[in-house]
Structure 1
């Protein structure tokens, strides 16, 4: 008894340290500035022309600027359009469902599984399958009828604006190649060939996400959640990163706590910019949030979510006249359910593995 007594406190302290301790991170100021400028321009230029709504729709495509951020610009010049096509395909099929209560969740699960397979097999890296799932969910809501909580937008308008945002993001990403010194320096960085290989880790991640996304979609439908796609987004965000159960569990804790704090930040920001939002102020806020999130996301995922949560909610809900506290509370609940589903899948997997070894 006495030998096992101190172990629990040490274990608790170690877990707390793992939750709070930042991870080693390379310098990300350049990447963060690029991401912030992309969001600012994609939303801000239409806002200056009196079409903030178009800018917000385009912002879903502009999120593609975050992909392949560790690769050379020449590599991103060639490969980012392929990633963007995948993101736009997800947005397109989500928009095509027009928020149908059966088709929309089914498509969301298919998008989640397909995106995880492609991301894992091609080693695209962060943010992985997260944005295709988020984009499909937002598109389904935007095109859904008002009777289902949607905005009734034309699917072609939603997809077209997202494509314009993706094109703008690509231009901003590759623009520095116009400078000869940048072009010469960039050419010295080797470009890895594109391959598809789903190793054991990738297969484990795909299996986890498939089971959890299906369960999350069914649970969201049974509970009648208005923004059920956030549950699937949380599942994908937690489970897509790797095979280790402990690290995945820590990521789930980061997701839950970071979302809770970020929801409060959203309420404060929404109070300043107003809902429905107007003008260039919102574009500036989105740019700052995007910059901050990209600056810290490698060092501490939970801290990044303090900025990602209000960013995502403002993109999805800036045109809404809803109460910010209600929107924030719904997001926290949906995320908590998604994290719980992800944890349940991990627990069941561990129990099954234990029985298989007997």
Structure 2
């Protein structure tokens, strides 16, 4: 990867203090603060504030999916709460055994990273599973009973679940309605866009529609939202037809060919979230040209919803896999950081391991992850000063409750606007909870130790980030493009067998759509990390993606989908691609030639149909 340009360096330097635009988070922040405050207040009234601080480990459940549709949110928070309780239980089990503690921390960090990235859990991701394990481990090692720590965490998770779902009592389908309204606004902008703004507004409308369908599906496909979004989609399709001067499929009928530029099918959105935060996407050039045929067809299948967890988990373990690369980096970095902590005799290895994990667990480009680590370090320095000030002020009792609630509120208000500033609040919040489990340490020692732990953790993460996977960007892209080819072949098999209406065929189309989105995201990150090596394969990936959308379109075309023998014939070039091991070097031009052969067959079908 080439060094960052001076413009990029200046942009990242400004980002330390800049407030980024963000959707309103007042409700989310108030819910998080309320969930944190309730067990703390109850514990303070009972004269057991330390129990309230332990319960706050379970309260972290509320940070997951705070604005998602109710049905999906209920399941997500239940699973996260159970995971946090399991982490606390494991931390209690290995308390007092430093080596086993590091092994447990590393194992949880890797497994949680793999699961959160694969299942698109979203921020805060896997981080808190390792952090809660570490805090519980220290608490039990300093005299708290394991049962007390586990029960307190369970209570906190239950409070978080109830508070997290509370806003749905007055608006049970409000998240879906917001997504539908956002799609409506985006399509309205697209409908009235001047000629020079048509393409970006069309891409924005497409992304909003994808997000809308995902939200409606997550919420249980409530009929009013389904009907409203279907009307918005019809307006989008009509606007696309008017502005392109033809309806679905007219590209092939008018010209007899596909667009010359395979990149014309860019701007596929990510309706199931991303492994990256917003900063990661800002660093990657996303093309905005959208072919009308392909764009309309991806909308038709966007309502298929999320792929099943079993499918994405199985896909993630097949090498080469970006998820495996992220998980491997987390494994090496946390093991390195934990080993340094144990060998040097540092008392709180969990802080070192957690910081190493924090830089890497969301993935992204090297530049993005490096900036994330720098922001975390800068924010931690400020946060340590805030914590030292709080300790010197001898904050106790109800003041502790007030400070923790206020810090949680500030974190949620800032985390999407400025990560470094949010960390200034996150650090004293985490230390206040953590030191309650091991009271008595001098403040200067605590601050100095956490500073060293932070530097060791971040340095371990950045070293692993820059020393691993440097020659694998091309392989990652080829691996994900292969997954698209396999998914295309399965849909072609359904077309050839006239079996489009079966549940299996529906899953095959859902899987193809999912792989198309994933491949585009992987390709953009790979191109950012190794532009020269990836460039030929980026063109190949765009050609594969164009083919994928053409095949999805054929499934819905009333005439094309009846050409069973032709679709069976179209599988032959794909068989040549799949016969070659993806780990074996193969020129991008050769792969693209086979893809073009299939495209040509489908273009002929479209023209003749």
- Whether these two folds match at TM > 0.5 is yes
In the alignment, which residue of structure 2 is the partner of 1:329? 448
Query: Which stretch has the larger CA shift, 316-325 or 100-109?
Result: 316-325
Give how far 1:217 is off: 1.2
In the alignment, which residue of structure 2 is the partner of 1:239? 360
SS in 1 for 2:103: helix
Query: Aligned in 2, Cα 1:215/1:72: closer, same or farther, shift over 3 Å?
Result: same
Give how far 1:351 is off: 4.9
SS in 2 for 1:321: coil
What is the number of equivalent residue pairs in this alignment?
341
Give how far 1:73 is off: 3.0
Query: Which stretch has the larger CA shift, 320-329 or 333-342?
Result: 320-329
Query: Aligned in 2, Cα 1:345/1:183: closer, same or farther, shift over 3 Å?
Result: same
Give how far 1:265 is off: 0.5
Give how far 1:347 is off: 1.7
Checking the alignment, whether the CA contact within 8 Å between 1:74 and 1:186 is kept in structure 2 is no
Checking the alignment, whether the CA contact within 8 Å between 1:115 and 1:132 is kept in structure 2 is yes
In the alignment, which residue of structure 2 is the partner of 1:265? 386
Q: What are the within-5 Å matches in structure 2 for residues 292-331 of structure 1?
A: 292-318=410-436, 320-331=439-450
TM-score (normalizing by structure 1): 0.89
Q: Which string of whole-angstrom CA distances, capped at 9 and with x for unpartnered residues, describes residues 179-214 of structure 1?
A: 3xx125356542054525255432221111111111
Whole-angstrom CA distance in 1 between matches of 2:118 and 2:418: 25
SS in 2 for 1:70: coil
Give how far 1:21 is off: 3.9
Checking the alignment, whether the CA contact within 8 Å between 1:138 and 1:316 is kept in structure 2 is yes
In the alignment, which residue of structure 1 is the partner of 2:464? 345
In the alignment, which residue of structure 2 is the partner of 1:74? 71
Give how far 1:215 is off: 1.1
Give how far 1:139 is off: 1.1
Aligned with residue 170 of structure 1, among 161, 166, 170 = 161
Q: What are the within-5 Å matches in structure 2 for residues 120-139 of structure 1?
A: 120-139=117-136
Give how far 1:118 is off: 1.1
Q: Which string of whole-angstrom CA distances, capped at 9 and with x for unpartnered residues, describes residues 114-172 of structure 1?
A: 1111111211111111111000111111111xxxxxx1221111111101110011111
Checking the alignment, whether the CA contact within 8 Å between 2:15 and 2:418 is kept in structure 1 is no
SS in 2 for 1:102: helix
Across the aligned residues of Structure 1 and Structure 2, the Cα RMSD in angstroms comes to 2.3
Checking the alignment, whether the CA contact within 8 Å between 1:217 and 1:229 is kept in structure 2 is yes
Query: Aligned in 2, Cα 1:73/1:100: closer, same or farther, shift over 3 Å?
Result: same
TM-score (normalizing by structure 2): 0.53
Give how far 1:312 is off: 0.2
Query: Which stretch has the larger CA shift, 70-79 or 17-26?
Result: 17-26
Give how far 1:304 is off: 0.6
Instruction: Say whether 1:28 aligns with 2:147.
Output: no
In the alignment, which residue of structure 1 is the partner of 2:309? 195
Checking the alignment, whether the CA contact within 8 Å between 1:61 and 1:162 is kept in structure 2 is yes
Unaligned 5+ residue runs, structure 1?
1-6, 145-150
